[in-house]
Structure 1
């Protein structure tokens, strides 16, 4: 299968691990005579710890351990945003220095300058950075809307080649996680201005580099699924969640599906999907509605939808035999175009996110995809 699809097994190696150093310092730290909690603790445990602190104590922790607090599910949202701004500011200064260093090659200085530019963008305005880790190619997540009061939360889960440099883009912004989430939030607001919604651009997992061996297996999806499940456990309990999973992100969502918090996830929508590591929607073991879309110009249709000896991701989610609710993606051009303004796919995503299922446009104009809801 690798030969027929042109996939390769090449992947660049990562760099140092600044967050590991921060975690090590955190584990040795304390507040007064109290040790700091294990960062792997359940979000509820983390939330209770921060609730027991004074405001000054919380701020000191964010200032001293920004790469920990900013990524800590269960920590107060405003504190995470603040910690990540501090971590980004530090990372920007470091990359600006590297961009001028004579210890780096011209290519290395160029990459450092690009990262510094990305961090400057993420620091601009009042952006709500929910997660930030500069280790290796890096991970990040951003919130649009008020996550603390939202009753409907959408999470955009991207696919291959997503890292700090590709987290957002200037040209055709809707092709990157930030632009995808911003487009969806704008479409939701246009349809229901009074609705309390939030959208998360969630690039907080290590994605495959290109369509190589990592992209053909579920290993990175399994690791990412654990991170997604932790995020969902930390979200406000009054919110209903919809997942929008693109490309390899749909593999992650398929792997995560059986362990998603029951009753929290109403919808899982996959698009440009190579498969969900399942032969049928019912095999996913979730009560969420399963939706699927693919534009006719998306190259993913040429990838064999099968699984053999751990390679490949199973049945095509838009096939009749899979059993998903297949929706129209009219207007979406190619693999990354599903959130482009004016597309039926974006309109459908917004309707699903708002729970307005009767407004969804089904594939071929039929109504079978919303029957029985």
Structure 2
């Protein structure tokens, strides 16, 4: 009887999550893209004089950084020209080298959906065409920035839709551009990081933590790569389901700040349970439909305590003028001004 009651409660929660908020917009369950990038086998079949190339699946970002620091320019360029998908996705490799490698890799796909990502001036820090595609784009000078921010998006984001027309200051790239502009630009680099397989629509994938768990591993490795190339400890700005990813990754990153907005929960009872030295911030606008999502975690469904609640213990970000679920970076909003101050370290 107890087991039946638990199943019934979980089913009721699922119905509420997928039908009582934004409607059943879900699709089939998606499989997360994990593991090293395509081309890894060919990469590992080679060796440098006196040493093998690092395994993209197991080598740390610091090991990758040491490898490239010991290579001359000719050797670096030889590797990127023959293994662009591997070099372009190696956390710890020099950013400029990754930009060039990913330009080659994107062009080589011959896929019109990605063609704009290879245009001159784009700084694509990672690109993986598997599944719906994953991409990270840098706005600003990552190698010389005094401050770094990373946008971690929620559902329905992927490489194929990275350049799709959206409302102003929405979507990973739009949020990144808006944040960099609000910081004044020159000293801050912002990364739009769609580096994990996101849920599609509002369905079981969005109610579960499965995709977030896979994404958290990738986010932790990505931030380790930033550290390995000497970038400042980042501020993570985590939207919607992206805040679940950030909650699970928190203890494994060296983030200076973790900012969640439009969050269904972080899979933690309170900020202390994140086990992070980062300052934790939370925002929710008055018309954000995420407020209707039950803040519970039961039988693997739901993401726990509301991060904007007093019980969670996060610092509050003003958001009274935010419209809807995606308006947090709209120019002129109090939330964007606060985000910019956090990103530049201008709040204590």
SS in 1 for 2:135: strand
SS in 1 for 2:297: coil
- Cα drift, residue 21 of structure 1: 4.2
From the superposition, tell whether residues 337 and 151 of structure 1 become closer, same or farther in structure 2 (CA, over 3 Å): same
- Cα drift, residue 122 of structure 1: 1.3
TM-score (norm 1): 0.83
Residue by residue over 1:69-117, the C-alpha shift from the partner in whole angstroms, topping out at 9 and shown as x without a partner, is 00001111111000000011112x2x2xxxxxxxxxxxxxxxxxxxx1x
| 1:318 and 2:308 correspond | yes
Pick from 147, 167, 170 the counterpart of residue 175 of structure 1: 170
Partner of 1:334: 324
RMSD of Structure 2 on Structure 1 (CA)? 2.2
Runs of 4+ in structure 1 off by over 3 angstroms are: 7-10, 12-17, 31-34
Partner of 1:228: 219
CA contact (8 A) 2:38 2:86 kept: no
SS in 2 for 1:149: coil
| 1:245 and 2:235 correspond | no
Measure the CA separation in 2 of the matches of 1:311 and 1:12. 14
Unmatched runs of 5 consecutive residues or more in structure 2? 1-12
Measure the CA separation in 2 of the matches of 1:238 and 1:76. 11
CA contact (8 A) 1:274 1:305 kept: yes
Measure the CA separation in 1 of the matches of 2:73 and 2:190. 27
Residue correspondences, number: 328
Partner of 1:211: 202
Unmatched runs of 5 consecutive residues or more in structure 1? 96-115, 358-372
Pick from 37, 44, 63 the counterpart of residue 81 of structure 2: 63
Larger relative contact order, structure 1 or 2 (CA cutoff 8 Å, min sep 6): 2
Residue by residue over 1:238-287, the C-alpha shift from the partner in whole angstroms, topping out at 9 and shown as x without a partner, is 513211000000001111112223xxx22111000000111111111112
SS in 2 for 1:6: helix
Measure the CA separation in 2 of the matches of 1:244 and 1:346. 11
SS in 2 for 1:189: coil
Q: Which moved more, 1:179-188 or 1:166-175?
A: 166-175
Residue by residue over 1:169-208, the C-alpha shift from the partner in whole angstroms, topping out at 9 and shown as x without a partner, is 3341421111111110111116xx5xx2111101011111
- Cα drift, residue 32 of structure 1: 4.8
Measure the CA separation in 1 of the matches of 2:88 and 2:195. 12
Q: Where do residues 116-155 of structure 1 align in structure 2 (5 Å cutoff)? A: 116=112, 118-155=113-150
